[in-house]
Structure 1
Amino acid sequence: MSITPCCLKGFEWEGKPSGRIDTIGTANAYVAGDNPDVAIFIVHDLLGWSFPNVRLLADHYARETKATVYVPDFFGGEVLPFEPICNNEWDKVDVAGFLKNNSRDIREPEIFEFARALRGKYKKVGAVGFCYGGWVVLRLGAKEHQPPLVDCVSLGHPSLLIKKDIDEVAVPVQILAPEIDAAYTAELKLHTFETLQKHGVPFDYQHFPGVVHSCFIRGDPKVVGEREAMARGKNAAVSWMNQFLQEL
């Protein structure tokens, strides 16, 4: 898979993020944009809220959806080293200890609190999650929340996902799925297809051949096809958010 200039035209993956830091409830957040009516928040992967690429992605979303975009810190200030993760040197990272400190049970209440804070401030709210954030956005869109915490969700290469997360989602769902992904298994992909078609909500599944888990945030230019997939994933998420957040 080659990277084409057309695909990457207008795509900024270098340089310095242009947003600001704010506090929403108890969470610090990177913020881009200033729309008073529409918000999107990105639930980060293991690289966390301070990873430059996720902030540049937030800048893109803000420009291209005209929304206010948040990247909250949902790891309580804990930051894993970027370089070994980006290089797949997992023996240099205490992932088990990190996930123990940031388990679903520990982090879910504060994530829901953040979503409620945005829901109280904005007319429309969308959520985008990558890796760790994948299970989060499905939980945000679960039928238990009345009224809904979010209006739509998009998730890329989800991890820590269980079938119940898929079973209970009740808002429009977009899946960005790399072909090679040990976390989002063939079994979970099949369950996604079979289940969401029965839910009566809009469902968009996008397949990304030849790329692996983490491509949508890492966007490594040294890996053939990865930056192209990341740009395509950005475009897909922007389009999905625009469909369901701009009809005020």
Structure 2
Amino acid sequence: MSCPDCFSGSVKDGKPRGEVVTLHGIQAYATGPSDGRTPKAIIVIIPDAFGWEFVNNRLLADHYADRGDYKVYLPEFMAGKAAPEYMLDSMRGLINGSVFVKPFHLAKAMTGFVPFILTNRIGKSYPRVKAWFEELRKAEGADAKIAAAGFCWGGKHVLLMSHNITVDVAGKPAPLINVGFTGHPSFMEVPADVAETMTVPVSFAIGELDAGLPADKVAEIRKIVEAKPAPVTGEVVVYEGAGHGFCVRADSTLNDVTSQAVKAEEQCIAWFNKHLGL
């Protein structure tokens, strides 16, 4: 499910260092290790609602590249209809503004939300995302190591791709992705999204205060994924005091939440390193 927190948070300071490339028919932000190390594997970020141009998502891609020997891609999966950045201010106005200004903020927020959801509801967006990953797998080869990290909207896509999907690469079946990570996923269906057909190990980072994932649902997810046999066994990490969006849009004025966002980065890279043998 989705909630107002999907469109709230803060913008981070910093200048992304990567480049924009065209990859398998769409644009993507591409980055690698800043010290020039040769990447040993690929991470593809499927972003939150604010999309591939949002500075927080590009900075996260840079962080991932620096925390391991990874080539990181952040593709434009939203067909030009990502949630606009002004929605961050609109949501603050809806939550904290006076009764007189809330109608204005609601109207403005809807001008961003409606195009986003009409273009990017999961039934329409998932085929685009899946098709791009299929082309990536074919281009990189059956033995390439490919990880997917999804946040909020993107988290649902990672979960769907973890369900026993293979690609024919020169007559050899290969997994669409080798390993997955999802931070505060939205639109989740439990238990369906973590059912027996999940054949890729997935790590979850969930905020304790995420209204979209109440404690009983988190417990159910944990019970299912941690009971799966190796190497498909998953993990669930709950971050105390953190809400939805903390992995990407943590308020930098709140030290605890910022620290938890860093820990979630470390969780993701440790998980990928473990399952990709790096």
How far apart, in 1, do the equivalents of 2:85 and 2:115 lie? Answer: 16
* Ranges in structure 1 where 5+ consecutive residues have no aligned partner: 1-12
1:234 aligns with 2:233: no
How far apart, in 2, do the equivalents of 1:100 and 1:188 lie? Answer: 27
Comparing 17-26 and 180-189, the one that deviates more:
180-189
Residue of structure 1 aligned with 2:193, choices 143, 152, 165: 165
1:79 Cα shift?
Answer: 3.2
How far apart, in 2, do the equivalents of 1:26 and 1:19 lie? Answer: 19
1:210 aligns with 2:213: no
Match of 1:148 in 2: 175
How far apart, in 2, do the equivalents of 1:222 and 1:169 lie? Answer: 38
Residue of structure 1 aligned with 2:71, choices 68, 71, 83: 68
Contact kept, 8 Å, 1:47 with 1:79, in 2: the verdict is yes
Contact kept, 8 Å, 2:208 with 2:239, in 1: the verdict is yes
Residue of structure 1 aligned with 2:81, choices 60, 67, 78: 78
Residue of structure 1 aligned with 2:123, choices 80, 100, 105: 105
Match of 1:222 in 2: 253
1:17 aligns with 2:16: yes
1:44 aligns with 2:65: no
1:152 Cα shift?
Answer: 0.6
Tell me: CA distance 1:128–1:44, structure 2 relative to 1, closer, same or farther (3 Å). same
How far apart, in 1, do the equivalents of 2:267 and 2:236 lie? Answer: 10
How far apart, in 2, do the equivalents of 1:238 and 1:36 lie? Answer: 14
1:18 Cα shift?
Answer: 0.5
Contact kept, 8 Å, 2:250 with 2:257, in 1: the verdict is yes
How far apart, in 1, do the equivalents of 2:39 and 2:209 lie? Answer: 39
* Ranges in structure 2 where 5+ consecutive residues have no aligned partner: 1-11, 95-105, 167-172
CA radius of gyration, larger in:
2
Contact kept, 8 Å, 1:86 with 1:218, in 2: the verdict is no
Residue of structure 1 aligned with 2:157, choices 136, 150, 153: 136
**Partner secondary structure for residue 183 of structure 1:** coil
1:177 aligns with 2:195: no
How far apart, in 1, do the equivalents of 2:236 and 2:189 lie? Answer: 18
- What is the TM-score with the length of structure 2 in the denominator? 0.78
Give the aligned CA root-mean-square deviation in angstroms.
2.0
Identity of aligned residues (%): 29
How far apart, in 1, do the equivalents of 2:148 and 2:274 lie? Answer: 13
Contact kept, 8 Å, 1:143 with 1:170, in 2: the verdict is yes
Match of 1:126 in 2: 147
User: C-alpha offsets along residues 24-65 of structure 1, whole Å, 9 cap, x if unaligned?
Assistant: 222211001175651110010011111111111101111222
Contact kept, 8 Å, 1:22 with 1:28, in 2: the verdict is yes
Tell me: CA distance 1:56–1:67, structure 2 relative to 1, closer, same or farther (3 Å). same
How far apart, in 2, do the equivalents of 1:79 and 1:98 lie? Answer: 6
Tell me: CA distance 1:199–1:86, structure 2 relative to 1, closer, same or farther (3 Å). farther
Contact kept, 8 Å, 1:38 with 1:246, in 2: the verdict is no
- What is the TM-score with the length of structure 1 in the denominator? 0.87
Letter in 1 for 2:30: V
Letter in 2 for 1:181: D
How far apart, in 2, do the equivalents of 1:30 and 1:162 lie? Answer: 30
Contact kept, 8 Å, 2:79 with 2:119, in 1: the verdict is no
1:196 aligns with 2:225: yes
